[in-house]
A and B are shown apart, each in its own frame.
Chain A
Amino acid sequence: MAHFEKAKSLHDWLNQRLAVDAVRRVMATEYWIPKNINFLWAMGMILAVTFGLLLVSGIFLLMYYQPNVATAFDSVNYTIMKEVEFGWLWRHIHGVAASVVFLIIYIHMFTGIYYGSYKKGREMIWISGMLLFVTFSAEAFSGYMLPWGQMSYWAGMVITNLFAGGSLHADGLVEWIRGDYVPAQAFLNRFFMLHVLLLPLAILALIGLHFAALRIPHVNNQDGEEIDFEAEAAKYKAGDKAGSKVIAFANDFMSKDMMVVGIYLVFFFYLVFYHYGFAMDPVNFDPADGLKTPAHIYPEWYFLWSYEILRPFPTDPGLIAFGFAQVIFFLLPFLDRSPNAVPASRRGLFNVWFWVMLVDMIVLTAMGKLPPEGIFSTIGLVAAITFIVLWILLPFITKKEKEL
């Protein structure tokens, strides 16, 4: 057994057993952050805080929610909303956070793309982030099922039907996923399990991986400058805090992160208290009915762009385009052939690519919400093709880019 001395204090007692000082150094006081980063780098902290809000509000909803096809709808819309004191608060926090978390994820992603933060040794940060995005999508979808309203039921029907693989007619697979011929009790129970246990566990593990992936290559900065972290950290520790290009994560850098989080929370709770309706689909306030389809079936706003890539094509090409849209972002670090990890504004054609991609995804989002008729379906088709063409062009554009 290791040697232990009589502890001089509680801190010393813990330090001998848990190495609290060493952990604090590694995680906070000697975790180095570049100084030249703007508020967009605070999105990670905002996401962590929002995930915390989702977890806490979810635990409170879980105390009264009933995963049964006969009682689920009322347990949400009557028990939680009307009977449970402050039940409405947990539901609105959960609903708004589930929607806003995707807005922040998209800002986080596009910040990474704009500043080239996925390149040069930072590929794992990007890949683990994309895995988080996909897991969050599954988490959002499984949660959307739980109130067992009309949109829940039909979203479940349509999304599980995608697994039939178009002309492959893998109906057995679809029935296996549902545990029934249609979304029913078995389906609700297993999506409940996925939403409250398996997927959150996966998310927690992936957040760990995402943070670990950051530790060695360190966070990128606004100018794409390659910083010698050890030399700069030594300068900082020697007392030259002004001259060093880095700053300790805690408590120094955290104060800036927390200020951005503070501003975000004002906006967040403004939505929770005054505009929670945007995160709730009116159709989902009708109980699920397997014999009646709503006139228009559309996903939540954050899935609209990929839904619109599926929609304008016939079934099989649509599914292929949809699959393409789901995986292509993972390959970004390998499709971008340029060695420059600098802001897009200094990268010539890539700058054009970035803004066209951003605008194209906004157009896809808007068209995904509108009914697929006339001019809207034409715009949707053009935008979907543009999306695919942009990704095909990316390696060629970036290959030609001059080294900075």
Chain B
Amino acid sequence: MKDSSRRGFMGKAFGAVAGVGAVASLYAMKKSWDPLPSVKAAGFTTLDMSAYKENELVTEKWRGKPIFVLKYTADMLAKLTEQQKARSIMINGEGYLVNLGLCTHLGCIPSYNPDDKSFLCACHGGTYDYTGDVTKAPPPRGLDIPPFKVEGNTLVLGEEGPEYKNMKANGVTL
């Protein structure tokens, strides 16, 4: 009896040590797969907004992902609805689309047609208007807007400025 309770204690003690070890190694394994600090540090991009031409889509790169930048013409700016205005970024009186160029359905890159001013994702036929708002399913929502901060005539991607926080709070982007 004394022996078996000793064995039982040894068993439980080993179980406890092994349990702590198992949880600790799972934690280490989880953290090993996290993005490296160098990957995270490279997560900022600065754009000079005065360089863009009207109704001409430029694809920039941020965190390895394509970023669409489109400067609106005066006509496009005038036609904005309230919902579209909320998605647009205003810098020095000029309107811009700055969106993540990945379809919100499964992550393909949509293409821009400057004539009818809309985006088409050929993979599954989703379409977006020139503010990146979804106009035809399957995409569940408009193109996502990357975290940005307006600094004079430049835009810093990867940093959350007040305009971006506002968009997030209003549910314009995720």
Interface residues of A (CB under 8 A from B): 154, 157-158, 161-162, 166-167, 169, 171, 175-182, 184, 186, 190, 290-293, 295-297, 311, 314-316, 318, 372-373
Contact = CB atoms under 8 A, between A and B. Distances in A.
Contacts of A184: 39, 64
A181 B30 CA distance: 17
- Nearest first, the 8 A-B pairs at minimum CB distance are A182-B64, A181-B63, A293-B109, A293-B108, A161-B107, A291-B66, A158-B106, A315-B140
Contacts of A372: 124-125
Given A157-B107, A315-B105, A290 B65 contact: yes
Given A154-B108, A297-B123, A169 B39 contact: no
B33 A177 contact: yes
B109 A292 contact: yes
A314 B65 CA distance: 24
A306 to B, nearest CB: 14
Given A291-B59, A314-B140, A181 B65 contact: yes
Contact of A175 (B35, B138, B139): B35
Nearest to B43: A181
B33 A176 contact: yes
B60 to A, nearest CB: 9
B61 interface: yes
Interface string B46-75: 000000000000010101111000000000
B140 A166 contact: yes
A171 B100 CA distance: 14
Contacts of B39: 179-181, 184, 186
Nearest to A297: B123
B123 A180 contact: no
B65 A182 contact: yes
Contact of A182 (B36, B59, B63): B63
Contacts of A314: 137-138, 140
Contact of B122 (A162, A179, A295): A295
Nearest to B65: A182
Contacts of B140: 166-167, 314-316
Contact of A180 (B64, B105, B125): B64
Most buried by B among A161, A162, A178, A184: A161
Given A157-B107, A169-B174, A177-B33, A293 B63 contact: no
Nearest to B122: A295
Interface string B102-118: 00011111000000000
B42 to A, nearest CB: 9
A292 B102 CA distance: 10
Contacts of A373: 125
B173 to A, nearest CB: 11
A179 B108 contact: no
Nearest to B174: A169
Given A181-B63, A181-B65, 7 more contacts: A161-B107, A171-B174, A180-B39, A182-B65, A290-B64, A291-B101, A293-B109
B34 interface: yes
Contacts of B59: 291
Contact of B107 (A158, A169, A291, A296): A158
Most buried by A among B36, B63, B109: B109
B109 A186 contact: no
A1 to B, nearest CB: 27
A251 B66 CA distance: 61
Interface string B61-103: 1011110000000000000000000000000000000000100
A158 to B, nearest CB: 5
Nearest to A177: B33
Contacts of B174: 169, 171
Nearest to A175: B35
Nearest to A166: B140
Contacts of A157: 107
A291 B61 contact: yes
22 contacts: A166-B140, A167-B140, A169-B174, A171-B174, A176-B33, A176-B34, A176-B35, A178-B35, A179-B35, A179-B39, A180-B39, A180-B63, A180-B64, A181-B64, A182-B63, A182-B64, A314-B137, A314-B138, A315-B139, A318-B138, A372-B124, A372-B125
A109 to B, nearest CB: 27
A162 B106 CA distance: 7
Contact of B123 (A162, A167, A179, A293): A293
Contacts of A318: 138
A171 B139 CA distance: 16
Contacts of A166: 140
A167 B106 CA distance: 12
A304 B56 CA distance: 37
Contacts of A158: 106-108
A268 to B, nearest CB: 33
A177 B30 CA distance: 10
Contacts of B43: 181
B124 A181 contact: no
A297 B108 contact: yes
Nearest to B110: A293
Contacts of A293: 108-109, 122-123
Nearest to B101: A291
